[in-house]
Chains A and B, each alone.
Chain A
């Protein structure tokens, strides 16, 4: 028990720390960066880590550390917009599909399948072509493409909750479907949704990287970890550092959100209180 408790606290702590670092980096970047992340310094190209440049410079002589700090903003922006949109639309849709009469639920889920069948990146590229390329457009597209995974998980959770005797008791007491959705379904599927958030956050961060490479994501010169990674590609053999630094940042952020999701799920579950 003590071990389970410790590992649970550990994932919450580690996840919280990693995510906290990303948030901190983004916040700090608004007030201070070691150098101007956008300033091109022709004489300082491709410098290794030194006292002046902690993580060195890229091929345009821009400070990697400063780009990393400012890039954290894009990462959070991407995650919050895409995941927020997907969760806020997908979860209620899933609850609706799980609670409503057969045909309506079927209709919602088939519409869901339709969106799911559509490649997320293709949707993002189409959105970019129609509404203009940019981080926000790309993330709304990624968000829409992520709606089905939330709807699906919310629906399966809802179906499970709706089959319980406590919902039957609520119905026998004359409580409305809206009350049941709010007081019984939502709190009981919150854990599932939170875990889905962390997974989707990770996917959104990676999708942003891919879109940036294709020219449909964060537009230059705005720094983003995805773009830093893509820009480093040509120099991979010469300067692996330029790929490793943003790569590690992305990996740690993704790991952090996953650990945080796990930790939060356990924290929100009063049934596990006995182990705490």
Chain B
């Protein structure tokens, strides 16, 4: 499936999703609609947030954006090139340009590989000596000790493992980083460190960031633009400050109200009857 690729215009979005739909077939009769009619564009250099509770289709969307899954209908373009339904051979450019940091800091690192092998996995078949240098560079960039490469993932804490994950994602010098709930599995005390590291790297390397989270407060801290998802649809989209200050959709209001009300509930508990 080859789409006519338009000449890159200044206004052309980096990533463009058009009417994305993904159905998972459970049986002959039943199918689950994970995504329905999702459209958006992400401009180069943007920090784009996707917010929604679990089951809203966020992870499905991430897989489609990374061409790890094929949409049932609709299209995804990267720099004007279609990447949906394209054979792996035609996706080489994307595989180094777009990388993902996953949620689970244990499950996203092969327990049987040394950290240096994990980090250099995306580098492919270039020279080994260069790899060693690059791995050292990356370990420094994510503020891990230089000797971390010798060790195995289980020897690190959750936050450190997420740093390894980030180092791996940065290895092929991508232009786009997708972070799928990168801090949700971490202790609150570590979250800010990882978020700051991500933001710092995005800034320093001039990356485009797609940040997926269920927590609007985290997204507000990281992103400049946000799309709110519910039941596989985008219900609201706009600059983060606007959405945060004046949420238009009732679901967004509900999301915003959720966190403070928890705090209020805890406060009430502490006061006692």
Binding site for B on A (CB under 8 A): 164-166, 168-176, 183-184, 187-188, 270-271, 273-274
A169 contacts B154, C-beta separation under 8 Å: no
B99 contacts A274, C-beta separation under 8 Å: no
Residues of B within 8 A of A175 (CB): 121-122, 124
Residues of A within 8 A of B46 (CB): none
* Residue on B nearest A270 in the bound complex, by CB: B152
Partner of B108, one of A165, A183, A273: A165
- Complex-state Cα separation, A129 to B85, whole angstroms: 53
Partner of A165, one of B103, B121, B122: B103
Beyond A165-B103, A169-B168, A270-B112, 11 additional contacts (C-beta under 8 Å) are: A168-B63, A168-B102, A169-B121, A169-B165, A173-B96, A173-B121, A173-B124, A184-B110, A188-B110, A188-B112, A273-B154
Partner of B113, one of A168, A172, A183, A274: A183
B107 contacts A164, C-beta separation under 8 Å: yes
A270 contacts B100, C-beta separation under 8 Å: no
Would you call B239 an interface residue if the criterion is a C-beta within 8 Å of the partner chain's C-beta atoms? no
Would you call B95 an interface residue if the criterion is a C-beta within 8 Å of the partner chain's C-beta atoms? yes
Partner of B92, one of A168, A174, A187: A174
Residues of B within 8 A of A172 (CB): 66, 68, 95, 98-100
A165 contacts B102, C-beta separation under 8 Å: yes
Residues of A within 8 A of B94 (CB): 174
Would you give the 0/1 interface string for B185-201, flagging 1 where the beta carbon is closer than 8 Å to chain A?
Answer: 00000000000000000
Would you call B104 an interface residue if the criterion is a C-beta within 8 Å of the partner chain's C-beta atoms? yes
Partner of B111, one of A170, A171, A174, A271: A271
Would you call B91 an interface residue if the criterion is a C-beta within 8 Å of the partner chain's C-beta atoms? yes
Would you give the 0/1 interface string for B137-178, flagging 1 where the beta carbon is closer than 8 Å to chain A?
Answer: 000000000000000101100000000010011001000000
A54 to chain B, nearest CB (A): 47
- Per DSSP, chain A at the interface is helix
Within 8 A of A (CB), among B62-78: 63, 66, 68
- Complex-state Cα separation, A166 to B103, whole angstroms: 11
A161 to chain B, nearest CB (A): 9
A172 to chain B, nearest CB (A): 5
- Nearest 6 interchain pairs by C-beta: A174-B95, A173-B122, A165-B108, A165-B102, A187-B112, A166-B110
- Complex-state Cα separation, A166 to B152, whole angstroms: 14
- Complex-state Cα separation, A188 to B107, whole angstroms: 13
Would you call B227 an interface residue if the criterion is a C-beta within 8 Å of the partner chain's C-beta atoms? no
* Residue on A nearest B111 in the bound complex, by CB: A271
- Complex-state Cα separation, A169 to B98, whole angstroms: 11
A174 contacts B154, C-beta separation under 8 Å: no
A173 contacts B154, C-beta separation under 8 Å: no
Would you call B135 an interface residue if the criterion is a C-beta within 8 Å of the partner chain's C-beta atoms? no
Would you call B88 an interface residue if the criterion is a C-beta within 8 Å of the partner chain's C-beta atoms? yes
- Complex-state Cα separation, A171 to B121, whole angstroms: 10
* Residue on B nearest A186 in the bound complex, by CB: B112
Residues of A within 8 A of B172 (CB): 173
Interface centre among A169, A174, A175, A271 (most CB of B within 10 A): A169
Would you call B50 an interface residue if the criterion is a C-beta within 8 Å of the partner chain's C-beta atoms? no
B124 contacts A174, C-beta separation under 8 Å: yes
- Complex-state Cα separation, A187 to B152, whole angstroms: 14
Residues of A within 8 A of B95 (CB): 172-174
B99 contacts A165, C-beta separation under 8 Å: no
Q: A174-B91, A271-B154, A273-B152 are in contact. Are A168 and B68 (CB under 8 A)?
A: yes
Within 8 A of A (CB), among B96-132: 96, 98-100, 102-104, 107-113, 117-118, 121-122, 124
